[in-house]
Amino acid sequence: MAILTQTKPGRNPAPEGVHIGVVVDVIDRGVVHHDEFGSKPMVDVVWQLDEVDPDTRQRFLVSRRFNNSLNEKARLSPVVEALLGRAIEARERRPLGFDLETLLGKSCQVEVVQQPGKNGGIFARVERCMRLGRGMKSLKSDGQYARDGESAPKQTSTGSENDAEQERFPFENGE
């Protein structure tokens, strides 16, 4: 006999493709420990997309966890450059040289891919960010996302909460 999973309403993953997104939150996660990669300071960047979930009638939210570093090899660097629309200056790469909260309200193109979760379900993951193209208009937040920490970006998963948390924010190595 089959036991079918049930998807909670309002939990649709963001659709795959390139979307315009606006940064609605940057969350300092502090030092996060991972058995394979060790302890590193991490941040989450949260985008609100231009696409609306037909079930909730709210814009999709996507997020990605990064090492809190602007080293040239860090995965956060190209994201910051896409949002700023320019290269990061040497003085900004130094420790305490750049305030990530200045990214709030900035727009870029966000490539979203969908992946199966380890425990079933599907989640949306930010693959990469690109500068807005010439003539593209920046996106403004619709004001539905609250930065108080209680409004976590939960619309990106249809799997279990633990699965979504682990898969949505993969740890990085190579820094």
pTM value surpassing 0.75: yes
pLDDT at 108 over 60: yes
Tokens 């300071």 found at: 41
- pLDDT of 8: 52
DSSP codes joined into one string, 93-133: HSTT---GGGGTT-EEEEEEEEEE-TTSSEEEEEEEEEPPP
- pLDDT of 34: 86
- pLDDT of 3: 57
Tens digits of residue pLDDT in 72-96: 999 999 999 999 999 999 999 988 8
Name the percent of the chain lying above pLDDT 70: 78
pLDDT at 59 over 50: yes
Mean pLDDT of 103-115: 96
Alpha-carbon distance values, 15 to 25, 53, 59, 98, 172 (Å): 20, 9, 11, 32, 24
Mean pLDDT of 155-173: 39
CA proximity to 159, closest of 168, 169, 171, 149: 168
- pLDDT of 47: 96
- pLDDT of 156: 42
- pLDDT of 18: 97
| Domain assignments of the chain as residue spans, ordered by start | 17-168
- Pair type for strands 59-67 and 107-116: unpaired
CB atoms within 10 A of CB 90: 8
For the chain, what is the mean pLDDT?
82
Tens digits of residue pLDDT in 117-162: 887 788 899 999 999 999 999 999 998 888 855 444 444 433 333 4
What's the token pair of residue 68? 């809190």
**Cα(61)–Cα(12) distance, rounded to whole angstroms?**
10
